[in-house]
Amino acid sequence: MPELPEVQILVNQLAPRLERARIRAVESRDPKIKLDRHLVGRRIRRVRRQGKNIVVDLSGGLHLLVHLRMTGWIEFDRLKRYRAAIHTTRGTAYFEDARRLGVMQVVTPEQLDRALKKLGPDPLLDGCGLSELQATSRPIKVALLDQRLVAGVGNIYASESLWRARINPRRRSDSLQSGELRALGRAIVASLRRAIAYGPRIFEAQQFAVYGRKGRPCRRCGTMIRRLVQSQRSTYFCPRCQR
C-alpha cells in the first residue's frame, strides 16, 4: 500500500505535468467514481499531498481528493484497465486500481477541510510533535498506523522508524518519555525523507532496515530481525536494538 513517501513521489511526478493544465474531459469507468462534467474547463492550480491523500486544487473553488488505498496509482501512459481518466490540455492522467478500493472524488473546500481535519499532523508538512501518541495506551507500532494521530505513516515506515529510534514496537504509547518521542519524530522524518529520495525507483530499489527482513541480520548490530503480528499486521524489529 502506498504510504507517504510513495504518494509524495507520485505527487512530484504529477505536479509538473498537471499544474496549469486545463481539464478537457473526464471519464469514469466505475460507478463508484463520480466525476461530473462541472470539472471540464477548470484549470489545475496545484497538486499536493496531505498524509496519504492527493489533493488537486482546481480553479473556481473545487478540489479532487484522491486516496490510493491498496493498489491505486496514477499514470500518464494509457493503460488497458483504469477506473477513471482526467484528460487535460497537457496530457491524460489515468487512475489505475486493481483492487478498486481507492477513492477519487470531487469535493468543495468545506468537504476538503472536513476530510483533512480528521488527520493528525503530517510529519513533513506540520512537524512531528507526536504528543497525541501519549494519549493512547495502544502499542506504539499500532498507534503509529492511526492516521488521526500521525498522517502518512503506514506499516512499512512504522517499523522502519521504530528501529531507527531504537524503540520496541510493543511499548505502550503512553509509556514513552518525551525524549523518546522526540527521537521517534526525528526517526519518522528521516525514514520518510530517505524513502522519497529514491524517487520513481522506490519500488525496485528501496532497501529497508527491518521491513520484510525476518531472519536477516540487523544492519546495526547483526542480530536476527524478528517478525511479530500486531493488529493483524506484520511488524519487523531488532530484539537487541529495540528492547
Q: What is the C-alpha separation between 241 and 243, in angstroms, rounded?
A: 6
Residue 219 CB, nearest approach to Zn ion (Å): 8
Is residue 69 within 8 A of residue 100, CB to CB? The reply is: no
Select which of 42, 49, 52, 141 is catalytic.
52
Is residue 117 within 8 A of residue 139, CB to CB? The reply is: no
Residue 211 CB, nearest approach to Zn ion (Å): 14
Identify whether 233 is a catalytic site residue.
yes
Task: State yes or no: residue 241 binds Zn ion (CB under 5 A).
Answer: yes
Is residue 61 within 8 A of residue 105, CB to CB? The reply is: no
Please list every residue from 165 through 224 that binds Zn ion, using CB under 5 A.
Answer: 218, 220-221, 223
Residue the block writes with cell 514496537:
169
Identify whether 52 is a catalytic site residue.
yes
Q: Per-residue contact track with Zn ion, 216 to 235, x per CB under 5 A? A: --x-xx-x------------
Identify residue 116 by its one-letter amino acid code: L
Shorter beta-carbon distance to Zn ion: residue 82 or 211: 211
Q: What is the C-alpha separation between 209 and 238, in angstroms, rounded?
A: 10
CA distances from 211 to 103, 114, 177, 189 (A): 27, 33, 25, 17
Residue 3 CB, nearest approach to Zn ion (Å): 23
- Contact residues: Zn ion, CB under 5 A: 218, 220-221, 223, 238, 240-241
Instruction: Give the residue numbers marked as catalytic.
Output: 2-3, 52, 233
